[in-house]
């Protein structure tokens, strides 16, 4: 299969390219890092790139929480407009298979259960609570403590920041394209992806990259809040394998399907920072109590659907992955 990989020179995209090539496919890289004209917002460039292509693996995106709301136009341009241009060109070219780099950020907070009121969906955390060090969401009915759990794909979307909003918009565009054209669209909702080749020293990278960059500078990783935030850290090679599995699956004409893509084993941010610092040889992390508006407290995946329907299994354990990541090279930008 000849597969156009947008963002194919990036962190996740480059691993997807390797995975596809290893499985006998022909990946075609489309990325402004290697060719300034290869912008998904450019209809002419996209139409040319789609020539002879059987499927598209859409990894190109502006990622991360960003620095301020002033980033909003750029997020919308790159993620929403770029996806719309790509899908329009695919419809014109008759390319009917899409795998999209989705994200768990579309859920907002994860799944919570109140002992008295069952499953509840807490709203955004108040600045006054965060400033006072009250980081855990409480029941919206009685104010009691909540028990976090795994979120499934059928949970309502509740994006809490600009990046999350654009990732949800990408899914809506992909679903509309599939219905309109009879194509097959899959969104892999990545959880916290880490591994070799992560970008260094950028406000748009993930938390694992922040910590690894700090260690490389001889500085202690700075852990926000109290370090108790639950996340699902999944290795980039496993994410790449999920992309390959989605591309090789029997296409569902006219359908959009979302799959959580995580290790299935929740870890706290503090736990990850300690494991990475230990593997690197220090210094130990510092828990700062600082916070970022737009961050959620707990978000962890139930990836059972991906395992059952695409026969995918994560192959890299947490401790093994952190040991490798501690010594792996990072990329600029």
Catalytic residues: 163
- SS3 (DSSP) at 196: coil
CB of 30 within 8 A of CB of 4? Answer: yes
The residue to which tokens 């737009």 are assigned: 294
The beta strands (E) that lie in 19-117 are given as: 26-30, 55-58, 97-103, 111-114
Q: How many CB atoms lie within 10 A of CB 134?
A: 12
The residue to which tokens 């006072």 are assigned: 132
CB of 183 within 8 A of CB of 176? Answer: no
Q: What's the rounded Cα separation, in Å, for the pair 161 and 157? A: 12
Sort 18 into a burial class: Cβ within 10 Å, 0-12 / 13-18 / 19+: middle
CB of 300 within 8 A of CB of 148? Answer: yes
Widest Cα–Cα separation across the chain: 58
Q: What's the rounded Cα separation, in Å, for the pair 199 and 196? A: 9
Q: Which of these, 113, 128, 9, 129, lies nearest to 57 by C-alpha position? A: 9
- With a CB cutoff of 8 Å and minimum separation 6, the contacts of 304 are 152, 264
Q: How many CB atoms lie within 10 A of CB 52?
A: 11
Cis amide linkage into residue 235, ω under 30° from 0? no
């Amino acid at each position: 299969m000849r597969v156009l990989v947008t963002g194919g020179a990036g962190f996740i995209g480059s691993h997807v390219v390797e995975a596809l090539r290893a499985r006998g496919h022909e990946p075609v890289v489309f990325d402004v890092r290697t060719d300034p004209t290869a912008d998904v917002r450019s209809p002419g460039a996209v139409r040319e790139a789609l020539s002879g292509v059987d499927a598209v693996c859409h990894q190109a995106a502006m990622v991360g929480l960003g620095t301020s709301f002033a980033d909003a136009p750029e997020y919308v341009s790159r993620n929403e407009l770029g996806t719309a241009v790509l899908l329009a060109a695919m419809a014109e070219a008759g390319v009917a298979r899409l795998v999209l780099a989705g994200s768990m950020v579309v859920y907002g907070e994860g799944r919570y259960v109140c002992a008295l009121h069952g499953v509840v969906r807490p709203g955004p955390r108040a600045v006054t609570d965060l400033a006072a060090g009250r980081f855990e969401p409480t029941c919206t009915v009685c104010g009691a403590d909540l028990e976090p759990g795994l979120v499934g794909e059928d949970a309502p979307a509740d994006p809490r920041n600009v990046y999350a909003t654009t990732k949800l918009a990408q899914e809506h565009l992909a679903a509309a394209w599939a219905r309109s054209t009879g194509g097959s669209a899959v969104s892999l909702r990545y959880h916290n992806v880490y591994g070799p080749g992560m970008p260094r020293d950028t406000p748009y990278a993930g938390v694992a990259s922040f910590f690894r960059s700090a260690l490389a500078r001889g500085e202690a990783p700075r852990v926000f809040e109290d370090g108790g935030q639950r996340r699902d850290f999944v290795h980039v090679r496993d994410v790449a394998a999920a992309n390959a599995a989605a591309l090789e699956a029997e296409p569902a004409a006219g359908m959009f399907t979302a799959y959580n893509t995580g290790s299935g084993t929740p870890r706290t941010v503090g736990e990850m920072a300690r494991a990475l610092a230990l593997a690197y040889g220090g210094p130990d992390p510092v828990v700062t109590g600082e916070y970022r508006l737009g961050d959620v407290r707990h978000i962890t995946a139930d990836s059972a659907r991906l395992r059952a329907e695409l026969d995918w299994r994560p192959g890299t354990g947490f401790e093994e992955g952190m040991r490798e990541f501690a010594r792996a090279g990072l990329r600029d930008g």
